[in-house]
Amino acid sequence: MDNQNQKILSLSEVQSDIPLDCIFAYGHFSTIHPGHIRYLKHAREAGGYLVVCVMGDQDGRFQFNEYERAEAVSLLGLADSVVMLQANSLADAIRLIRPRLLVLGTELRDSSELVEPIRLISEYGGKVMYHAGDVTYASASLLTGSERQIENERVLQLRRACQRQGLSKNDLIESISKWENTDIAVVGDSIVDEYTACEALGMSAEAPVIVVKELESRSFIGAAAIVAAHIKSLGPSCSFFSVCGDDNPAKFLKDSLRRAKIREFLVTDENRPTTFKKRYIVENQKLFRVSRLEEIEVSREIQHHLMNHLEIALRKCNGLVVSDFVYGVITDSILAFIEDAARKKSFKLFADVQCSSQYGSIERFKGYDLLCPNERELRLAFEDKRSGLEALSQKLLATTNCKNLLVKLSAEGFVAYSRNSEGITSQAFPALSVNPVDVAGAGDSVLAVMAAGLASGESMMKTAAIACCMAQLAVETMGNQPVNRQSLIHRIVDLL
């Protein structure tokens, strides 16, 4: 659809050219993010003339005024008309236009303010449909445009997001320069990732099994260890605390951390292996992964050793990152120790949990300065596959009382939320890479930037914009490799 043919109208300006059998969508659209786009696409696919009604801002509760929000909806190219309700209600719009279908987000199903609109539309035979938007964890964007076109559109989305937040290229670069005076501790599970490059030979004649020829292997540090490596490479001082086995992967882990000049405090547990994951790849395609790991909690003795190391380091840090892969390092006792230290010494707490294939919940982290779940982990925390993304994000903010939230949406980027004295503001940021080489570890790179920025006193939205650029760099190479500060600055200059 051509955006120039769209109309932004007040309800008083609505003309007879809006068809009587049109479809209504409704919301405040304070920040357009992928959850809204899924919802509006579904309304569009219902067939017919789509009118998006934008809630008025007479009570001053929204970050952007009504026209700015209507314009943001219009730029999506999904609506035929965007109607600003101003002082009017949705019921007023239904009386005037009489749509045949009203599509609402599932979070509005029990809303008292929609009782009257639903009654009105039912009276004349119209229908109401609830939809949260399809939950997807991959992108089909390459089916609708070339890689270059999509990349250009996403860069434009980043620039619009920065413009909306009042951020310039120089603001972001100046922010990065402050990180080197910051000291950050990282605690969590360690992983050694091995990538084995293979040549495909074909199918076995003995059984339906793919046959490959092994060419060469390379190992990388992962999980909490790569978060620490990213942080150190970006400028801050960094200490790393974890548990490893008494094996060759542990030796590789220690050597890698020392080469990166990270202060490492690894407690050796002879009763468990260092978590090791081996991936077999042909060209850039991963065939399968073999994991060697232990998922039970570390012993009380190991926990005490870890806490003794932490106690000394936490006296001078500005922030602490908890990177929990649910392999047994981040126990309730460790968390209680960390949170008590943060209250006494006033350093900031940041947490991420990787529980898409393990048991765990982001909800266990209460009162943190930042939480970084992906959408799957967000839904697992509340066992909720139906609610809209915005409703779930607001629910997590309320139940954990975290100050900032970053919800990762895989190929759709992420949405950043920030709590301040005036309420909660949000901003969506795109995934800049359309055809990434390796997405493993992209979230770790984002967590590292967020920790560096927030620990140094920078704002949530400024740091999130930098993290958007960081994620693009992180997925451009196979395997987890630390991104240095100069590369990040060069990428920001290129993009903005």
Residue-wise pLDDT for 10-68, tens only, equals 888 887 678 878 999 998 887 777 777 888 888 888 888 999 999 887 666 676 788 88
Q: What are 133-179's pLDDT values in tens digits? A: 555 544 444 445 577 888 888 999 899 899 989 999 999 999 999 99
Q: Are residues 53 and 174 in the same domain?
A: no
- What per-residue confidence (pLDDT) applies to 266? 96
Query: Identity (one letter) of the amino acid at 458?
Result: E
- What per-residue confidence (pLDDT) applies to 59? 64
Domain count, the chain: 2
Q: Are residues 162 and 93 in the same domain?
A: no
Q: Are residues 320 and 360 in the same domain?
A: yes
Between 295-309, 351-365, 398-412, 450-464, the lowest mean confidence (pLDDT) is in 351-365
Within a domain: residue 303?
yes
Q: Are residues 90 and 236 in the same domain?
A: no
User: In the chain, pLDDT over 90 holds for what percent of residues?
Assistant: 60
| CATH number for the domain that contains residue 436 | 3.40.1190.20
Within a domain: residue 129?
yes
Within a domain: residue 232?
yes
Give the integer Cα–Cα distance in Å for 267 and 242.
Answer: 6
Report, as an integer, the average pLDDT of 331-336. Answer: 96
User: In the chain, pLDDT over 70 holds for what percent of residues?
Assistant: 94
Give the integer Cα–Cα distance in Å for 258 and 215.
Answer: 28
Q: Are residues 332 and 472 in the same domain?
A: yes
Within a domain: residue 81?
yes
3-state secondary structure the chain: CCHHHCEEEEHHHCCCCCCCCCEEEEECCCCCCHHHHHHHHHHHHCCCCEEEEECCCCCCCCCCCHHHHHHHHHHCCCCCEEEECCCCCHHHHHHHHCCCEEEECHHHCCCHHHHHHHHHHHHCCCEEEECCCCCCCCCCHHHCCCHHHHHHHHHHHHHHHHHHCCCCHHHHHHHHHCHHHCEEEEEECEEEEEEEEEEEEEECCCCCCEEEEEEEEEEEEEEHHHHHHHHHHHCCEEEEEEEECCCHHHHHHHHHHHHCCCEEEEEECCCCCCEEEEEEEECCEEEEEEEECCCCCCCHHHHHHHHHHHHHHCCCCCEEEEEECCCCCCCHHHHHHHHHHHHHHCCEEEEEECCCCCCCCHHHCCCCCEECCEHHHHHHHHCCCCCCHHHHHHHHHHHHCCCEEEEECHHHCEEEEEEECCEEEEEEECCCCCCCCCCCCHHHHHHHHHHHHHHCCCCHHHHHHHHHHHHHHHCCCCCCCCCCHHHHHHHHHHHC
Report, as an integer, the average pLDDT of 432-448. Answer: 90
Q: Are residues 10 and 119 in the same domain?
A: yes
Within a domain: residue 139?
no
- What per-residue confidence (pLDDT) applies to 276? 95
Residue 76: is its pLDDT beyond 90? no
CB of 430 within 8 A of CB of 156?
Answer: no
Give the integer Cα–Cα distance in Å for 211 and 198.
Answer: 10
Cα-trace Rg, the chain: 25
Which residues neighbour 107 within 8 Å (Cβ) at sequence distance 6 or greater? 132, 387, 388, 390, 391
Give the integer Cα–Cα distance in Å for 45 and 250.
Answer: 53
484 by Cβ neighbours in 10 Å (0-12 / 13-18 / 19+) ranks as middle
Within a domain: residue 315?
yes
Quick one: CA torsion of 58, 63, 68, 74, rounded to 10 degrees?
-110
Final residue of a structural domain among 134, 150, 177: 134
**Tokens 């909660």 belong to which residue?**
424
Q: Are residues 119 and 187 in the same domain?
A: no
Residue 342: is its pLDDT beyond 60? yes
C-alpha 74: how far from chain center: 25
Between 115-129, 244-258, 260-274, 383-397, the lowest mean confidence (pLDDT) is in 383-397
Q: Classify the C-alpha dihedral 138-34-402-319 as positive or negative.
A: positive
Which among 149-163, 306-320, 448-462 has the top mean pLDDT?
A: 448-462
Q: Are residues 385 and 470 in the same domain?
A: yes
Report, as an integer, the average pLDDT of 116-126. Answer: 92
pLDDT band at 328 (very low <50, low <70, confident <90, very high): very high
pLDDT band at 1 (very low <50, low <70, confident <90, very high): very low
The overall average pLDDT reported for the chain is: 89
pLDDT band at 71 (very low <50, low <70, confident <90, very high): confident
Q: What are 229-254's pLDDT values in tens digits? A: 999 999 999 999 999 999 999 999 99
Q: 307 is written with which tokens?
A: 């806490």
Q: What are 348-381's pLDDT values in tens digits? A: 999 999 875 557 789 999 999 999 999 999 988 8
Q: Are residues 286 and 386 in the same domain?
A: yes
Query: Identity (one letter) of the amino acid at 405?
Result: L
| CATH number for the domain that contains residue 16 | 3.40.50.620
Q: Classify the C-alpha dihedral 98-104-109-112 as positive or negative.
A: negative
Within a domain: residue 214?
no
Quick one: CA torsion of 285, 481, 353, 264, rounded to 10 degrees?
140
Q: Are residues 346 and 274 in the same domain?
A: yes
Instruction: Answer with the residue of higher pLDDT: 485 or 437.
Output: 485
Residue 286: is its pLDDT beyond 50? yes
Give the integer Cα–Cα distance in Å for 130 and 128.
Answer: 7
Final residue of a structural domain among 119, 134, 149: 134
Q: Are residues 57 and 164 in the same domain?
A: no
CB of 351 within 8 A of CB of 368?
Answer: yes
The domain containing residue 60 runs over which residues?
3-134
pLDDT band at 290 (very low <50, low <70, confident <90, very high): very high
Q: Are residues 70 and 168 in the same domain?
A: no
- What per-residue confidence (pLDDT) applies to 142? 45
Give the integer Cα–Cα distance in Å for 311 and 315.
Answer: 7
